[in-house]
Amino acid sequence: MFPRRPIQHCRECGGPVVYRVPDDGDTHPRAVCTRCNTIHYENPLMVVGTIPVLGDRVLLCQRAIEPRYGLWTLPAGFMELNETTAQGAARETDEEAGAQIEMGPLFSLLNVTHVGQVHLFYRATLLSERLDPGRETIEARLFTEEQIPWDTLAFRTVKTTLQCYFADRRAGRYGFHCVDIS
């Protein structure tokens, strides 16, 4: 499968690329420069976030950006270079909700192969109800399980993570969840 926006020019020399299986024993089609033979590898993007909880309520953010403007999500976003997954999840929670948290363990890993992403969510404890949403968020709000706007959640990864979280909470023990989203 080729990327949604294929590479057209070599990052080394600017020459045109073609997608083919390289002659180096690789088994996958790659963007190969026709001029300098540089092989360009394309890898999944990492999305990192938290499930911030205060008592029996979970923090959700209403999106002020596309995709899915106006829908609700857990605070999450693309991991940056030079940060760990936990650091990225904490940063996204601060940027999107202005929430102060104590990080907990990794809770879910969701493979979203059709868009080339891996989503990781950590459990987190909110340290206060004080929120200061950033520019990517219309509103940040705490919800009980019964209040969650299930029909207006932005992403299947968020819905799946929340379903696992509430099921674990009812069971009285939290596990680690690895799910493939197709």
List % helix, strand, coil for the chain (3-state, nearest 5).
Answer: 20, 35, 40
Q: Where in the chain is the domain with CATH 2.20.70.10?
A: 7-42
Instruction: Answer yes or no: are the C-beta atoms of 64 and 104 closer than 8 Å.
Output: no
* Residues 122-154: tens digit of each pLDDT: 999 999 999 999 999 999 999 999 999 999 999
Q: Cite the beta strand spans of 76-153 per DSSP E.
A: 76-78, 101-112, 117-126, 137-143
**Which of the listed CATH numbers 1.10.287.610, 3.30.70.360, 2.20.70.10, 2.40.50.100 matches domain 7-42?**
2.20.70.10
* Residues 46-97: tens digit of each pLDDT: 999 999 999 999 999 999 999 999 999 999 999 999 999 999 999 999 999 9
Q: With respect to CATH, is domain 45-180 assigned 3.30.565.10?
A: no
